[in-house]
Chains A and B, each alone.
Chain A
């Protein structure tokens, strides 16, 4: 209800001063606008920082927490685990991860994820910092690949991450030979790389091994470089004796490979990524000169070839010139219808330059020797001059044999047979075989000797001996008297000795004293032994005060 005003009551009240009107937009309405702008900007910022949602599967979610575990690359956070689920078959866990914006192009099928947590391995301890901060997921971006959103995490951290510079190569080996992942790669005994992986070839015919060689050492790997296994200890025994090879203690534990480039291959191009090399069993196998030229000959032996193995050396005056290629039975031309050992050898002219003719030796040029040019012809010439092959014992210890070829001018003349599959070098018997033959000869001579005459002589000798015995028999009574006397004297001497040795006697009492001393010594020894048994530390510290 409004009451009519009575202005008269307030007439003395002064007027307020009227201000000039300020017209315009009320400034206060800028506030909601600002709030809207700021809020919108915040929203936009967080939304725009949100990158793709991806899933990564691991076997277990050990150390991973929803909403907290982070995905890092070079220790910079690039994502966060949102949710941890099981896969449908419950065989693995599936992590939903929100990556930061801008990571899309690095999320490809070649990108890798693994959990970084403290690990202790043969190569050392890693991930210690995560003891305090908790595990995180490492991410290795790789933009070369097909984009994808679902990944399978690695259970173990990769040996070689993308931030290591270097080159990867593939090695092929007959067998793995104690190589393990992470095992070192040596170059002049420098540890400069690692074994990254290995697997059987699809057809199981070889082992495929991946190695990583760090920069700048990777430029020492040429296409002509040799790799060999240095894992463990290699002990070999062959015709050249026993060998013991070991690279380092580390390689003894975890295996490893080494490489080297022979000087003559230094001008081959530097090997590119994923070049395939052969992994040799050991250094000597790897560094054997590559043999491209061989001349095959056949040898037929009379005796046994036990102790000769395929791969055994063929030597000329102690210098290796070839290799035994095969050992088999074959027709023996000496004895019709009987088989004998047939040894096929490869002569390898490139093994040594000494095969050149003498007059070329000083010229210093690598000209092909006559042997290299036409080995068969050259060998045929030499056979005429007495070239023969024979088996020799390489090592008396192992009984390994090797093939020796040499010039034996005294040998019965022979020609090289060229009518077979391979030309045949004539052989001589083994030195041992030679000795056996001589003994046989001696025995044969003995067999023919005059045994009857010898036996008659022997008979006569026996008769005269028995006559001598009869004459001796006559002197026996005299001798027995003398013997009795001697025995009596001995008896007396024994009695005296017995008297003095009894307890009353001189020697006896001394002996008793000695025995007492001895038993006292034995007692104290026992006491000491018992004390030591109870207090073994007394050996070091001495007998402490009780």
Chain B
């Protein structure tokens, strides 16, 4: 038996147990926090953030994340060209870290969210436990992708020696941070309870 079946929910903020109507926006009489049985419009919001993230993923990888200007000679690097640079110069462990953190993780995260959304909408009953675990991993791992952005932001602020060396963030960096933030929002808006809501044909 689910709480939704009994029309019951506890307030997220103050924990007060209340009767809730199955539809419509409600709020807690004690602390005025908005209340709902399921995250309202969870699927559509998740979809919206995910699509935006997917769109932003393209420029994030196609445009340079940073430009190093040294002695009048400027060099722009995208995430992938940086990975290739590191790999060619023998720093393959570092290349692997950057590749996993900046290319693979956001991509897998988006694919995972896509998978969760589709399976929920298709009312799939398979692998529910695994899917729930997948969701937890996605939510946990999300913020670590920001490592790249932190590096660029730090370098841009620190390396500013005029003609000798200057580092400027590129358009790709903005797009990339957008990808990370949007996937985090997307994951936040997904309600894992939806995985379990459909109980199958009775």
Contact = CB atoms under 8 A, between A and B. Distances in A.
B24 A13 contact: no
Interface in B41-74: 41, 44-45, 48-49, 51-53, 55-56, 58-59, 63, 71-73
B9 A36 contact: no
Nearest to A36: B55
B113 interface: no
Nearest to B27: A17
Interface residues of A, number: 35
A132 B26 CA distance: 67
B52 A21 contact: no
Contact of B59 (A5, A10, A31, A43): A43
Contacts of A5: 1, 5-7
Contacts of B202: 1-2
Interface residues of B, number: 44
Contact of A31 (B21, B28, B41, B52): B52
Interface stretch (A22-30, A51-59, A170-178, A412-420): A22-30
Query: Mostly helix, strand, loop or mixed at chain B's interface?
Result: mixed
Nearest to B164: A132
Interface in B147-191: 171, 175, 178, 182, 189
A13 B18 contact: yes
B23 to A, nearest CB: 9
A546 B7 CA distance: 115
B41 A68 contact: no
A57 B202 CA distance: 77
A16 B28 contact: yes
A34 interface: yes
B73 A68 contact: yes
Interface string B1-18: 100011111000000111
Given A26-B48, A28-B48, A29-B44, A10 B71 contact: no
A36 B55 CA distance: 6
B158 to A, nearest CB: 22
A26 B41 contact: yes
A302 B164 CA distance: 87
Nearest to A30: B48
A396 to B, nearest CB: 69
Given A16-B19, A16-B29, A18-B21, A35 B199 contact: no
A34 B1 CA distance: 41
A456 interface: no
A19 B20 CA distance: 12
Given A16-B35, A42-B175, A129-B72, A34 B8 contact: no
B27 A16 contact: yes
A28 B17 contact: no
B199 A1 contact: yes
A269 interface: no
A470 to B, nearest CB: 117
Max chain B C-beta neighbours (<10 A), residue from A5, A16, A133: A16
B49 to A, nearest CB: 6
13 contacts: A5-B5, A13-B8, A15-B20, A16-B27, A22-B25, A28-B44, A31-B51, A31-B52, A32-B55, A35-B53, A38-B175, A39-B55, A43-B59
Interface of B: 1, 5-9, 16-21, 24-29, 34-35, 41, 44-45, 48-49, 51-53, 55-56, 58-59, 63, 71-73, 75, 171, 175, 178, 182, 189, 199, 202
Given A2-B5, A16-B28, A31-B49, 18 more contacts: A5-B7, A6-B6, A7-B6, A7-B7, A14-B29, A15-B19, A16-B20, A18-B21, A19-B25, A19-B26, A28-B41, A31-B51, A32-B49, A32-B52, A35-B51, A36-B52, A42-B63, A42-B175
Interface of A: 1-3, 5-7, 10, 13-22, 26, 28-29, 31-32, 34-36, 38-39, 42-43, 46, 68, 129, 132-134
